Structures are given as structure tokens and as C-alpha cells.
Amino acid sequence: MNEPRLETLYDEIGEEKINKLVAAFYPRVYQDPVLSPLFEGDMAEIMRKQRMFLTQFLGGPPLYSQEFGQPAMRQRHLPFEITPKRAQAWLRCMKEAFEEVGLEGIPAGEFFYKRLEQVAAIMVNTAE
């Protein structure tokens, strides 16, 4: 007998929407004067990793862990100066991307964004 599978945020939002979100988000980040110094390098590779992370973060397949090990995002970001101002800029870019792809104003999107607010707060590692 198979156990019923609980629906996850990943199931509600879906791979296509995650891909669109990442595609809408990173051009904003790379153009933001507060954030762009942190995001040097190949945008395509950073986007790939973000798609993998968000898939796992939302309850989908553990793509990020399969390739890179446990996410441990705070630890992975310690080499970068993440100030409260940068965390807020990151959230602003994400909010704009949410609006662009239609995640704004739907329950799954609102819950997802609240979780990202928590992540942004945890990532701060440097005072202004």
C-alpha cells in the first residue's frame, strides 16, 4: 500500500515557474549597484545553482545536495560581506521577480517569499 504524498511548495509552484523566477531575478541582481559586486562570474552557472537550490528548498528533488552536498547557505556565503542593506536589496530584487512571474499575491508565493525573508536575515554577516 502506498502512502499518500503530501504536496510541497515545489509541487504548487513547479519547475517552470522556478526557472522563470531565476531568469527574472538574476539580471536585476547583476544590475543592482549594491549587489553586483557580490555576483561576479558566470551568471548562467549561478542561475543553474539557484534553480537547483530553490527546487530543493521548496521540497522538490534534492538536486543541489546531490551535486554539491548539503546547502549550508550561510556557511557558503560567509566569504561575502552581506550587510542588512544588501539583504534588503536582494529581497527587493526577488520581490520584483516574484511580481514579474506571477508569484505575488498567491498563497504559495507568499509563503515562499516569507521563507526567503528568513533566509535573507540569516545570511547577514557584516554590519553596515
Stretch 51-57: mean pLDDT, rounded? 97
DSSP state of 104: T
Res. 72: pLDDT tops 80:
yes
Span 87-99, pLDDT tens digits:
999 999 999 999 9
Average pLDDT of the chain to the nearest whole number? 93
Res. 65: pLDDT tops 70:
yes
Q: What is the pLDDT of residue 1?
A: 53
Span 15-45, pLDDT tens digits:
999 999 999 999 999 999 999 999 888 899 9
Q: Is the dihedral of CA 13, 17, 22, 27 positive or negative?
A: negative
